[in-house]
Amino acid sequence: MPERFPASLQQKIEDRLRYYEDLGISLFYMDRGPGSATLVATEPIAPASSSAPVTEETVLPKPTPKPSSAKVAPVAPPSPLVVPPTGPSLFETMDKVKDETLLKIREDLGECTRCKLHKGRNKIVFGDGNPKAQLVFVGEGPGADEDAQGLPFVGRAGKLLTQMIEAMGLQRKDVYICNVVKCRPPENRAPEPDEVAACSPFLMRQIDSIQPKVIVCLGATAAKTILNTTRGISQFRGEWLEWRGYKLMATYHPAYLLRNPPAKADVWKDLQKVMAELGLQLPKKSKS
């Protein structure tokens, strides 16, 4: 019997299915309508045709964006900020700068020494992704892998974030990913107020340059820092907030999900709200 799947592809399939199971999606079926070979959620897996070439594309569930002509449900007006701030947020006080490019902002940042974090860094992690992204993810700060590569979310937590983005029907290049501070805090500690104060203007300029439709804050530190609140993230996670004119939602950090996999289901619920806001949807069950 010839092997149906190369070992590497089989491992990828197993990893992806395990991830969907963690999100609470455990059953799949194959839509066998004309021209279709996409597996979608909710029904048992049907065996693949033995003659058809099997690739990751044909066997993994792929959410599909709504066609651009599709009618998008009207967006409800932003809900009021549900997280009482504990004082004026420095993120709120900065005026918006119009018509800046990310390149110009990166040039202005230079080989930055504006705060003490520069002393221990290897590389500045400016941010990465689509300069016109509708969705921006903001984390807390770079870790060891990010510091070494100069790119955000590239370690184990970053791999999980990539899976989360792909589960939404997007790719990393479709979104923009950045952090509250751009240099790695020692021992991965939370950024200190003076470091946040020094670095935050650049984050604000990046966001104002991108003009995203939605910002997702990853983790308690990023959310509490940006929103200037001492309340626990579990009290406002998954809620739509209005922040500097942007719709913002906080959810758990992928590193937390690695330690606490059952929380992936909560994050998936949050991301589905983001998908709805962006007009993205999971494939529907076939009527045939």
- Give the range of 64-72, 113-121, 163-171, 234-242 binding ligand SF4 by CB under 6 A: 113-121
**Of residues 199 and 263, the one with the C-beta less far from ligand SF4:** 199
**Part in contact with ligand SF4 (CB under 6 A); list of ranges 117-125, 162-170, 249-257, 274-282:** 117-125
Per DSSP, the three-state class of 96 is coil
Contact (CB, 8 A) for 246 and 2: no
d(CA 219, CA 256): 8
Task: Let me know if 13 is exposed, middle or buried by CB neighbors in 10 A (0-12, 13-18, 19+).
Answer: middle
**Identified binder of ligand SF4 from the candidate list 54, 112, 190, 258, rule CB under 6 A:** 112
φ, ψ for residue 51, nearest 5 deg: -90, -25
> For residues 198 and 226, which CB has a smaller minimum distance to ligand SF4 in the complex?
198
Structure tokens at 223: 């959310």
In contact, 261 and 237? CB cutoff 8 Å: no
In Å, how far are 17, 198, 204 from 97, measured between CA atoms?
Answer: 43, 17, 9
Interface with ligand SF4 (CB under 6 A), residue from 66, 114, 244, 269: 114
Please give the Cα distance from 211 to 81 (Å, whole number): 19
Total chain residues near ligand SF4 (CB under 6 A): 14
Instruction: Pick between residue 196 and residue 217 the one whose CB is nearest to ligand SF4.
Output: 196
| Secondary element (H or E) of residue 251 | strand 246-251
Q: How far is the CB of 197 from ligand SF4 (least distance, A)?
A: 9
CB of 196 to ligand SF4, least distance (A): 9
Q: What residues between 172 and 211 interact with ligand SF4 by CB under 6 A?
A: 181-183, 195, 198-199
* Residue ranges in contact with ligand SF4 by CB under 6 A: 109, 112-115, 117-118, 124, 181-183, 195, 198-199
